[in-house]
Structure 1
Amino acid sequence: MIRRSSTTLVAAVAISALVATAPAGAKPAETRPGTVVRVSPATGLSVVAGSASAEVLRYRMTSVRGTVVEATGLVLLPPGAPPAGGWPFVVYNHVTTGAADLCDPSQVTPDNEAAELMTRGDDIATRLLDAGVAVLRPDYEGIGVPGPHPYLIGRSLATAVVDMVRAARRLEPRLGRDWVVAGHSEGGVGALWTAAADQPLPRGTRLHGAVAFTPVTQTALELELLRQLPATGPVVGGLSALGALILWGAATTDPRMRALLRTGGLSPEAVALLPHLEQRCLPGLSADDSWAGIAPADIPGDGPAGDELLERLLVVMRANDPAAVVVRPGLSVRIDAGILDGVAPLPFTEQLVQGYRDQGVDVTYERWLGGHPEVVRDGWAAGPAVDWILERLAEQ
């Protein structure tokens, strides 16, 4: 492992001095979004093969409600000395793991029920590290820290990215200015919202591209179809769990939705399972004693409250669909899809790609013979996607 350099200590002393001399009433520098709370060594499965240094960064970000909250993520550095100007880096956003605090990939342990989900981007991370590229892996708002997780809320995911970049560059001066954002599934949504033309980026950096593996799109349409299913089963049960996470996440943006979750918007059976969303990761939520035990049609409450909850949910999901992103001018995008994907169906992904191309975006689009999990692995998109990233980072 590379030990923390003396420059970090000097930076910490300088920040402390700045805070001590801040004018009365001014917001202390160390409480602003993008500042470091603390750093600790990563352990176990979080230490990705190929990393010379692996640390868990706790930092501050702006929450979906506009307040400053804490978030966590993993900082992986490659071996050797950085090139002139510092290491280029990739922010890799993870697939859906859940909304509970124990679902944070930066603290993954072998016995965690979602360990496979939390490590699913490791093939890509190792390839990047071997190529001399640093990797940042945010856990997202509300995962691993107090507070709800705004699942599939694009601005929250993008803010977790940019504020982690700010904090990581304060922590590690060997990180350069050139970067690419990437992500899988929920993380693909985050990558594409980071690419939005109106998303502020960290000062002094240059975003070269965005990569989305099986990004979830047209969620509102999927929910409208899902709510009609009167029975559960092995496949449908997993979709019920995802639907519950979507409801939980959307409610973080809408106070009325939060109230409806417990005042008639959901069936009594669904209300009884709400605590599971802060206690279990996706595999546990997909168990028969949890959300998989409820048919999708039985999740909403009867009557006007149930109808209102669903109407509000659809509004939120349409607003946060990656199809709503107006991509930053001149930014290249790559999208990789699974032909057999049951979570992000291929026709929806192809409509997303066409929508971006209609904007004039340079989109590289590849389809792979596999489902939702396989696309990010070696033998599928991992190698070609990393090659694409390296080409973008080499651009001047």
Structure 2
Amino acid sequence: MRPAPVTVPLLFALIVVLVLGVTPSIGAAEGVGKPPVPVLGPEGDAFYTPPSPLPAGRPGDVIRFRPIAVPPQLGASRPAARGYLVMYLSRTATGAPNAVTGTIFVPLGRHPATVPILGVAPGTLGIGDQCAASKSLAKGLLFTDFYLDDVLRRGWAAAVTDYEGLGTPGDHTYVVGRSAGRALIDVVRAAQRLPVAGLRSSAPVGFYGYSEGGGASAWAAQLQPAYAPELDVVGVAAGGVPADMYTVARFLDGSLAAALLGYAAIGLNAAYPDLRLDSYLSPYGKTVIAALRTSCTADGLAPYVFTRISRLTTTDPLATAAWQRRLSQNSLGRRAPGAPVFLWHGVFDEVLPFSQADALRRSWCKLGAQVTWRPFVAEHVTGAIGSADALAFLADRFAGRALPAPNC
């Protein structure tokens, strides 16, 4: 069999890595050892298997990458861009080094050193490896879902995380705040440090997400001042945020979106094995959790509508001190974000109750955060309409316009 021809982007990447050398930007002094030299990764699912052992380096250092095509949008024009699949170093919820994948898009038509960078946190896609955002984005899907067409049209670079364990080995740490926030911060660092992207380390940065992504964006906002102080974060947009994990869990019990409880249980157990999820499950619960582990939202949610915790377990984990402690550790509002925040939520949200998002707003305001709060007459899915206002808010921050008065 003849080897596949080397494409122009791939050849260009080889030249940069092998001839021009690699000069990653210097970020916060977290992590030890010489930064890894990004290498061209294999095609297909092999890309998602991290090297063992992981290379030494800092969170955000790129382990491997591949140029990817940016497919045209059907029925409309998609802004021209260069795309890269990346694997980068990050940190787990407990601080251990890990490898996360993501996708970086750089708009054409502007010098890459002049563009801002938006860290994009996907909403709930599922927890099976096939659900990773990068796998759909490489096929031209999800651009509209994540407003990436609008982002690229505005001339911004986009750095989209897959999160820990989504695509890569192990369970996805669904709604585990420190894991998600670090993965989002570090995909922005990876965008800055990938030489072929050409983005600058001093570029203004924003974070954006809705639902699961809203939680990740909010966590990135809280973590960034200490975790990544070198980033010039000018604005954060977080919508449909799961802020109080215990309140959300009780709200979801027996609801239309009850399967999200299973996702969250799997995610928390992956981050904190001391929770011993299997020891709480009934035989039926073990069957459900096994099915959810390989599911995406399209096939994972519908079979378990109105399912109650009592049917899945022999003992209610939410009534135990161990689970309550971990849920508390993954609830937002104890630290003020370091940048202005656009926070929005649907007042009729049937998945993530409005009251707990409003409580987050009040907590951040008491801590002195600059919060622009926007309730929408919407439920959870239609609440995503707030993304248009959120991107306008971020556009003003990137342009250096005056911040509207916080409406705490």
The answer to whether the superposition gives a TM-score over 0.5 is yes
Shift of residue 57 of structure 1? 1.5
Matched, 1:313 2:319: no
CA contact (8 A) 1:150 1:249 kept: yes
Shift of residue 251 of structure 1? 1.3
Matched, 1:207 2:213: no
Partner of 1:22: none
Matched, 1:57 2:82: no
Matched, 1:69 2:98: yes
Matched, 1:174 2:199: yes
Pairing of 1:1-396 with structure 2 (within 5 A): 3=9, 9-11=15-17, 27-30=33-36, 31=55, 32=57, 33-42=59-68, 49-82=78-111, 85-108=113-136, 118-119=142-143, 121-122=145-146, 124-171=147-194, 172-175=197-200, 176-196=202-222, 199-202=225-228, 204-227=230-253, 229=254, 236-239=255-258, 241-257=259-275, 259=276, 261-263=277-279, 265-288=280-303, 291-292=304-305, 294-302=307-315, 306-307=316-317, 310-328=320-338, 331-376=339-384, 380-395=385-400
- Rounded to whole Å, the distance in 2 between the matches of 1:137 and 1:110 is 12
Structure 1 residues 184 and 287: alpha-carbon distance in aligned structure 2, compared to 1, 3 A threshold: same
CA contact (8 A) 1:46 1:108 kept: no
Instruction: Specify the SS of the correspondent of 1:334.
Output: strand
Q: What is the CA deviation profile of residues 31-70 of structure 1, one whole-angstrom value per residue up to 9, with x for unaligned ones?
A: 2232222222445779893242122222222223433322
The more displaced of 90-99 and 26-35 is 26-35
Shift of residue 144 of structure 1? 0.9
- Rounded to whole Å, the distance in 2 between the matches of 1:370 and 1:255 is 37
- Rounded to whole Å, the distance in 2 between the matches of 1:357 and 1:28 is 41
Shift of residue 294 of structure 1? 3.9
Shift of residue 314 of structure 1? 2.4
Instruction: Specify the SS of the correspondent of 2:185.
Output: helix
CA contact (8 A) 2:79 2:149 kept: yes
Equivalenced residue count is 362
Q: What is the CA deviation profile of residues 256-311 of structure 1, one whole-angstrom value per residue up to 9, with x for unaligned ones?
A: 21x3x223x111111122222331112322132xx448433212214xxx458744
Shift of residue 372 of structure 1? 1.5
- Aligned identity (percent) is 22
- Name which structure has the greater RCO, CA cutoff 8 Å, separation 6+: 1
- Rounded to whole Å, the distance in 1 between the matches of 2:399 and 2:288 is 49
Instruction: Specify the SS of the correspondent of 1:92.
Output: strand
In the alignment, structure 2 segments of 5+ residues that lack a partner are 1-6, 25-31, 37-54, 402-408
Shift of residue 11 of structure 1? 4.9
Instruction: Specify the SS of the correspondent of 1:64.
Output: coil
The more displaced of 69-78 and 57-66 is 57-66
Structure 2 letter corresponding to 1:245 = Y
Shift of residue 8 of structure 1? 7.5
Shift of residue 323 of structure 1? 2.4
Structure 1 residues 15 and 322: alpha-carbon distance in aligned structure 2, compared to 1, 3 A threshold: farther
Give the TM-score of the pair, scaled to structure 2: 0.78
Shift of residue 151 of structure 1? 1.2
Give the TM-score of the pair, scaled to structure 1: 0.81
- Rounded to whole Å, the distance in 2 between the matches of 1:149 and 1:345 is 23
What value does the CA root-mean-square deviation take over the aligned residues?
3.2
Q: What is the CA deviation profile of residues 178-216 of structure 1, one whole-angstrom value per residue up to 9, with x for unaligned ones?
A: 111111111111111111166545464300111101111
Q: What is the CA deviation profile of residues 323-364 of structure 1, one whole-angstrom value per residue up to 9, with x for unaligned ones?
A: 233322xx2111121122111222222222122111121111
Instruction: Specify the SS of the correspondent of 1:141.
Output: coil
CA contact (8 A) 2:10 2:66 kept: no
Instruction: Specify the SS of the correspondent of 1:364.
Output: strand
- Rounded to whole Å, the distance in 1 between the matches of 2:229 and 2:198 is 14
Structure 1 residues 68 and 201: alpha-carbon distance in aligned structure 2, compared to 1, 3 A threshold: closer
- Rounded to whole Å, the distance in 2 between the matches of 1:8 and 1:184 is 36
- Rounded to whole Å, the distance in 1 between the matches of 2:138 and 2:400 is 39
